[in-house]
């Protein structure tokens, strides 16, 4: 008797309580049953023998630059890259597109593009910039997942950093809307002053760049935001934190009852300042890759579960903006292209440090769902959306231009070999990636609105 549209059989299912060998039955895009033997009960069966069935990863921090700058990436290639990386839901940031998502009109333009082009589910951030505090309520009511602000220059003229008064006003308003404010936290004064000194001396090496964005600049910004959170009651999410000292301040705030979460990125865990020295502009980001000693501290914080979630901060651009022949390091675009590799990177670390897979699945699925109030629970359970990344740990995956699905192939990750491989990705019951190939015509992603008051 046919009970399911698809049955994934014989796999190791990464459940919230641990890994269990079981079959998963899917009906109408939802998980209908998890049991020992569903063979012969589905229209289609997928053999997952010796494979791990992870919940589809959720990447809360990507820059797809659509509309207006889709030549940088766009929802089409961006979502294909997500699918190839086992990610079934991404949150697109409000800057770099034209217009930036700072009012309802701009949001509607972005929704139209994402619905047309994205092959996986998506949510959208709104922006907090000088002059748009009065637009925050309409953005929240329209369905943004939260708001994003920069304490230092964003690199985009259309998306200004917030001054302290805008930040306080915005935080008070966002708190009243029951939303979260995500922050790029580096001191604008410190980074600008140090950069000006280096420019004046003509010092543009990798070491010089690192020195212009010191850990102290991150810590100062984090401390300031936490002080403002105490006053305004605004829930805070710190993006791409790169230092143990900053995490320490956030841990102290959590103990004091402040509503705050923190992410880091795979590139801070897998790479270090040595890679910027060796590889140049493809390894430039802000905050910068830290020195080996600091990288080790971040890895230990990851092992200890101090990061609530891991996100890629996929920030692509045409190579002309990173070309070292025309741009020295200070002038080159600062961003890591690597959204395809978040799940692989975290599995690599889990294998290396003997971490349970259910722990990393929580960081990449359940925690984002809980923090941003998505309309499901996250993880693999009956009744949940049938979103999966099916992974082997018996094959390796070396990143090449041909298997990297981003629009522009230049990346810090090129040549890196992961000790695991994404075999298939399933979004709402549809197989959208399998054996290295995108199933392009099958799926259109859903827009997941943030829940209002």
Last residue of a domain, one of 346, 371, 396: 371
By the 8 A CB rule, do 215 and 245 touch?
Answer: yes
The answer on 148 and 42 residing in a single domain is no
Question: Could you give the C-alpha distances from 146 to 102, 399, 450, 451, in angstroms and in order?
Answer: 12, 33, 7, 10
- In whole angstroms, give the CA distance from residue 208 to residue 170: 34
Q: pLDDT digit string (tens) for 10-38?
A: 999 999 999 999 999 999 999 999 999 89
With respect to residue 449, please indicate whether it lies within any of the assigned structural domains.
Answer: no
On whether both 35 and 183 belong to a single domain, the answer is no
**For 198-207, 320-329, 403-412, which range has the lowest pLDDT when averaged over its residues?**
320-329
Question: 446 in a domain, yes or no?
Answer: no
Regarding whether 42 and 63 lie in a shared domain, the answer is no
**Averaged pLDDT for residues 249-277:** 98
Decide if 376 is inside a domain.
Answer: no
Greater confidence (324 vs 179) lies with: 179
Same structural domain, 358 and 422? no
Note the pLDDT of residue 442. 59
- Backbone phi, psi, residue 164, to 5°: -65, -35
Write down the H helix ranges in 273-382: 273-279, 292-303, 342-353, 357-361, 367-371
| 28 and 122, same domain (yes or no) | no
220 and 142 within one domain = yes
Question: Is the same domain home to 224 and 286?
Answer: yes
Contact 349, 93 (CB under 8 A): no
Same domain, 294 and 174: yes
Of 316, 342, 371, which closes a domain? 371
Edge-to-edge, what's the strand order for the sheet holding 121-124? 57-62, 87-92, 121-124
> Does the global pTM surpass 0.85?
yes
451 belongs to a structural domain = no
Domain count, the chain: 2
Give per-residue burial for 197-215: e unless 16+ CB within 10 Å, then b: ebeeeeeeebebbbebbbb
Same-domain pairing of 238 and 258? yes
Same domain, 257 and 202: yes
- pLDDT-derived band of residue 391, with 50, 70 and 90 as boundaries? very high
Cα separation, 241 vs 369, whole angstroms: 20
User: In the prediction, which pLDDT does 453 show?
Assistant: 58
CATH code: domain of residue 391: 2.30.40.10
Both 17 and 37 in one domain: the answer is: yes
Question: Which residue, among 149, 1, 155, has the nearest Cα to 65 in the 3D structure?
Answer: 155
Candidates 365, 445, 340, 411; CA nearest to 85 is 340
| Per-residue pLDDT, 158 | 84
Element housing 191 (H / E): helix 188-201
Give the DSSP letter of residue 449: P
CA distance 237 to 219: 15
Closest CA to 405 of 349, 323, 337: 337
- pLDDT value, residue 380: 96
**Helical pair 164-176 and 215-232, crossing angle rounded to 10 deg:** 50
Q: How far is CA 41 from CA 45, 313, 384, 428, 438, in A?
A: 9, 41, 20, 19, 27
Tally of CB atoms within 10 A around 395 = 11
Residue 139 lies in a domain: yes
Find the range with the poorest average confidence among 321-330, 332-341, 437-446.
437-446
In 139-251, at which residue ranges do the beta strands (DSSP E only) sit? 147-150, 181-184, 236-238
Q: Looking at residue 260, which CATH number applies to its domain?
A: 3.20.20.140
Q: What is the pLDDT of residue 325?
A: 84
Q: Which of 371, 405, 428 is the last residue of a domain?
A: 371
- Look at the chain and count its residues: 453
Query: How large is the angle between the packed helices 342-353 and 292-303, nearest 10 degrees?
Result: 80
Give tens-digit pLDDT for 367-389: 999 999 998 888 999 999 999 99
- Structural domain contains residue 453: no
Together in a domain, 183 and 289: yes
Bridge partners for 309 per DSSP: 263
Question: Which pLDDT belongs to residue 441?
Answer: 60
> What does the pLDDT read at residue 47?
96
Host domain of residue 252: 57-371
Pairing of strands 121-124, 18-27: unpaired
Q: Are the C-beta atoms of 316 and 337 separated by less than 8 Å?
A: yes
Write down the pLDDT at residue 452.
Answer: 65
What are the C-alpha distances in Å from 353 to residues 52, 54, 181, 365? 18, 18, 32, 20
């Amino acid at each position: 008797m046919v009970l399911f549209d698809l049955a994934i059989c014989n796999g190791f299912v990464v459940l919230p309580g641990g890994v269990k060998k079981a079959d998963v039955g899917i009906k109408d895009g939802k998980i209908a049953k998890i049991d020992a033997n569903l063979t012969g009960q589905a229209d289609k069966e997928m053999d997952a023998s010796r494979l791990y069935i992870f919940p589809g990863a959720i990447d809360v921090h990507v820059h797809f630059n659509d509309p207006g700058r889709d030549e940088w990436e766009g929802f089409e290639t961006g979502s294909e890259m997500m699918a190839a990386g086992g990610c079934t839901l991404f949150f697109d940031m409000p800057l770099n597109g034209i217009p930036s998502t700072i009012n309802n009109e701009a949001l509607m333009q972005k929704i139209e593009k994402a619905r047309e082009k994205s092959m996986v589910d998506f949510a959208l951030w709104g922006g907090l910039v000088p002059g748009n505090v009065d637009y925050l309520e309409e953005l929240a009511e329209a369905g943004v997942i939260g708001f994003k602000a920069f304490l230092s220059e964003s690199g985009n003229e259309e998306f200004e950093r917030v001054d302290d008064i805008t930040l306080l006003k915005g935080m008070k308003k966002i708190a009243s809307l029951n939303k979260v404010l995500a922050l790029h936290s580096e001191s604008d004064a410190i980074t600008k002053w140090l950069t000006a000194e280096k420019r004046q001396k003509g010092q543009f090496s990798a070491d010089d760049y690192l020195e212009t964005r010191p850990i102290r600049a991150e810590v100062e910004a984090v401390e300031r935001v936490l002080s403002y959170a105490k006053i305004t009651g605004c829930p805070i999410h710190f993006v791409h934190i790169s230092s143990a000292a900053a995490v320490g301040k956030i841990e102290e705030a959590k103990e004091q009852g402040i509503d705050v979460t923190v992410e880091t990125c795979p590139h801070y865990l897998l790479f270090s300042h040595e890679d910027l020295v060796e590889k140049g502009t493809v390894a430039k980001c802000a905050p910068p890759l830290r020195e080996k000693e600091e990288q080790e501290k971040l890895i230990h914080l990851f092992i200890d579960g101090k990061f609530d979630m891991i996100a890629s901060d996929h920030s692509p651009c045409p190579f002309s903006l990173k070309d070292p022949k025309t741009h020295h390091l200070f002038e080159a675009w600062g961003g890591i292209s690597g959204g395809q590799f978040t799940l692989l990177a975290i599995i690599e670390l889990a294998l290396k440090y003997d971490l349970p897979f259910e722990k990393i699945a929580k960081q990449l699925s359940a925690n984002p769902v809980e923090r941003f109030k998505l309309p499901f629970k996250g993880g693999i359970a009956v009744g949940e959306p049938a979103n999966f990344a099916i992974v082997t740990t018996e094959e390796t995956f070396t990143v090449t231009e041909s298997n990297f699905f981003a629009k522009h192939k230049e990346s810090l990750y090129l040549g890196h070999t992961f000790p695991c491989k994404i075999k298939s990705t399933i979004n709402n019951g549809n197989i959208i990636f399998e054996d290295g190939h995108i199933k392009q015509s099958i799926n259109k992603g859903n827009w997941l609105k943030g829940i209002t008051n």
